[in-house]
Amino acid sequence: MAGIQERTFIAIKPDGVQRGLIGDIIKRFEQKGFRLVAMKFVHASEDLLKQHYYELKDRPFYPDLVKYMNSGPVVAMVWEGLNIVKTGRVMLGETNPADSKPGSIRGDFCIQVGRNIIHGSDSVESANKEINLWFKPEELVTYKSCAHDWLYE
């Protein structure tokens, strides 16, 4: 099943870290059945953040976004599973927490768009780009979860 190997980049932003939501967020992905293949706790450099948000460089909020993301540590992760990019985005909720459904991460934990605690790749292409930006290939762990056969046919 080729789709099982899809990967996405998820980052818990500084506000999520400061609010102590790391475990709650990881738990949701684990309970869904997705597999964590890489994780690091890092204070991202301004250069890394400018590369990460490069597509937004002409937007008026770009400088504040980079400053906010550089204001404290983040948890950068790579998750793997069937349709993980699309499903991960649903789990995160809308960019604006006010538009997010209860049960989504942003719907349950956030109020304002400028403090929406989490980033998730919006396409397989952006996931690959973001994963390569934040992680070296040798930092990605390949393994078969013992729950695999209970999650996939």
Binding residues for ATP: 13, 61, 89, 95, 106, 116
Cα–Cα distance measured from residue 92 to residue 135, given in angstroms and rounded to the nearest whole number: 22
- Residue numbering of the annotated binding site: 13, 61, 89, 95, 106, 116
The CA-to-CA distance between both ends of the chain, in Å, stands at 9
Give the residue numbers marked as catalytic.
Answer: 119
Task: Show the tokens assigned to 53.
Answer: 């948000």
| CA distances (Å), origin 97, targets 32, 100, 109, 110, 153 | 21, 5, 8, 6, 34
Helix (H) or strand (E) holding 15: helix 14-18
